[in-house]
Structure 1
């Protein structure tokens, strides 16, 4: 992950590292110094490198003191033993930084390039959103009814809006909400996350907004005694509870991944694999064919996370963050189950509707 980004002699100076112990220092996107896991002295590290300014050789040194939990890095940059810059960074600074992306090589004209330009043009015109939203409305109207399709899309949009608000809270640029027929919705961003805490908050805010919507519908049901509001409240609660299952790529799977891989990589792979196995059991017992597709995607994501465990750019959760994330997740699950349980205790057939829909 990127630990530090500053300037040296008018060029970008970037330090990358991981909890495994390795560090790499880049000046003008060129590697000038690196340390392996055995080179650091506790939390103290020093990078020495030489730069040329004309015919003058400059001896540069970057000294850092790094603490991972809670994250804090103090640094001092000097040239020819003269102090140039010093400062410190914490988790808030990491969350607000824009991850470095290598410049893309120029490509010659090709059909693929032309297709890519066409896709960008469609995105800029927001045509894809309109087409997908229309297709979702048509698909759900065909399966159920037009009125139910409108209500379902409203629930999906409110859920995805929770993700969008979390992204904007962290200062990330968003591409908006895309509705995908039969698969729900997607909230996309132009930027990558930098910390596991961001992953937890962005993932969990969708179901959290879903809970707020179910509570509002529940209040409307109590006031009007209209079963439409009651049915929509329990269906929306079940939809968001389903999304909180600890299976990748669902929101609950991302929360589990962030918590478990912050403990250590072995715990991460064990817990995520247990979640996938649990998904197989649930899929078999309830006959939910949708899980087959999700489990394939989730397995791929777990494998990729394991392979990149020593080069992850995400700052892990500290112990406090792990506890808060766990309690937030469990509290949300309990609240959604309570809404479903309330309607189940009335003896109404509303609870069977979500299961029948997921089964198809």
Structure 2
């Protein structure tokens, strides 16, 4: 009996060993299971952390986008504001450009006027040059304002040294009466300017004013010679174009007595105008058809101004002597 228990004990020991081994395996398995669960929890926690990270990144991205938008707005608003001010600034400058363009039609007048004054100043002195060109300017502005009053489109005066000045007619007068009105405006204004120079001499005794008065009277009476294209030739168109035949011989006499190429040009243009009138007399009959009353009025105005200027020349010559 004593041997059996030993065997039993041995067998029990083996069983115990087996049980211990199995228990160890179970413990190992349970440990590994716990480890796996821990790993799973860790992985889950890691995955959860990744989601949190993504959420935080999204929040950060949104915050960054908002900051970017605010930064862009902070940059764009001043830029747009500056752009607005730049546009306003440019428009304000363009306003002066528009004014300049509006006034540019007188640019040729100003430039030619200054150039003529400078050239005359070289030969006759600055004071006389300034006064003489002023007389020419007033004469031409008489044509300009009269043309505007009767509805004709004209340009500003253009000055040509040693020739005179003229305004550009952008359209022809509709009849001889309109042409005579525009032609009369220049000598009328010019004669009044010469009278003002004479009055200046009366009140101040300034001899240059007296000299300018004489020049003004002479300049305007010369322009009243009844020869086209002078002012006198245009005025007598409303009286009788045949008066041109009187003016041409007078100009030829003046040219022979004191040769001047300008006089030669005027004589040539006058002869051409007479020839054209004779050649197209039937076509132009309506243009020169003026009522008798208006013919008489223009005759009185014309010869009255010629006589007044002749008296002014005589008077100033006596004072200059």
- Scaled to the shorter chain, the TM-score interval is 0.5 to 0.7
- Is 2:129 the counterpart of 1:149? yes
Deviation larger for 252-261 or 336-345: 252-261
2:194 maps to: 214
1:344 maps to: 317
Structure 1 SS opposite 2:219: helix
- Is 2:241 the counterpart of 1:274? no
Structure 1 SS opposite 2:177: helix
Work out which of the residue numbers 265, 271, 295 in structure 2 matches 1:293.
265
Work out which of the residue numbers 323, 335, 358 in structure 1 matches 2:308.
335
**Equivalent residue pairs, number:** 219
Runs of 4 or more off by more than 3 Å in structure 1? 123-131, 286-289
Consecutive unaligned residues of structure 1, counting only runs of 5 or more, are 1-120, 262-267, 350-360
Work out which of the residue numbers 304, 313, 325 in structure 1 matches 2:276.
304
Give the C-alpha shift of residue 159 in structure 1. Answer: 0.1
Give the C-alpha shift of residue 126 in structure 1. Answer: 5.3
Could you tell me how far apart the structure 1 residues matched to 2:271 and 2:115 are?
A: 29
Could you tell me how far apart the structure 2 residues matched to 1:274 and 1:334 are?
A: 17
Work out which of the residue numbers 223, 246, 250 in structure 1 matches 2:203.
223
Q: Could you tell me the TM-score, scaled by structure 2's length? A: 0.63
2:7 maps to: none
Could you tell me how far apart the structure 1 residues matched to 2:238 and 2:293 are?
A: 13
Contact 1:194–1:315 (CA<8 Å) still a contact in 2?
Answer: no
Contact 2:180–2:237 (CA<8 Å) still a contact in 1?
Answer: no
Deviation larger for 171-180 or 195-204: 171-180
1:236 maps to: 216
1:284 maps to: 256
Structure 2 SS opposite 1:333: helix
Give the C-alpha shift of residue 251 in structure 1. Answer: 0.7
1:190 maps to: 170
Contact 1:176–1:189 (CA<8 Å) still a contact in 2?
Answer: no
Contact 2:227–2:270 (CA<8 Å) still a contact in 1?
Answer: yes
Structure 2 SS opposite 1:176: coil
Q: 1:285 to 1:166 in 2, by over 3 A?
A: same
Higher helix share: 2
Could you tell me how far apart the structure 2 residues matched to 1:287 and 1:165 are?
A: 34
Deviation larger for 284-293 or 173-182: 284-293
2:39 maps to: none
Question: For 1:1-360, what aligned pairs fall within 5 Å after superposition?
Answer: 127-261=107-241, 268=242, 271-312=243-284, 314=287, 316-346=289-319, 348-349=320-321
1:30 maps to: none
Could you tell me how far apart the structure 1 residues matched to 2:117 and 2:288 are?
A: 39
Higher strand share: 1
Q: 1:124 to 1:301 in 2, by over 3 A?
A: farther
Structure 2 SS opposite 1:174: coil
Structure 1 SS opposite 2:156: strand
Could you tell me how far apart the structure 2 residues matched to 1:145 and 1:131 are?
A: 19
Could you tell me how far apart the structure 1 residues matched to 2:111 and 2:145 are?
A: 24
Contact 1:193–1:314 (CA<8 Å) still a contact in 2?
Answer: no
Q: Could you tell me the TM-score, scaled by structure 1's length? A: 0.56
Q: 1:304 to 1:131 in 2, by over 3 A?
A: farther
Contact 2:105–2:155 (CA<8 Å) still a contact in 1?
Answer: no
Give the C-alpha shift of residue 344 in structure 1. Answer: 2.0
Could you tell me how far apart the structure 2 residues matched to 1:125 and 1:316 are?
A: 35
Q: 1:171 to 1:257 in 2, by over 3 A?
A: closer
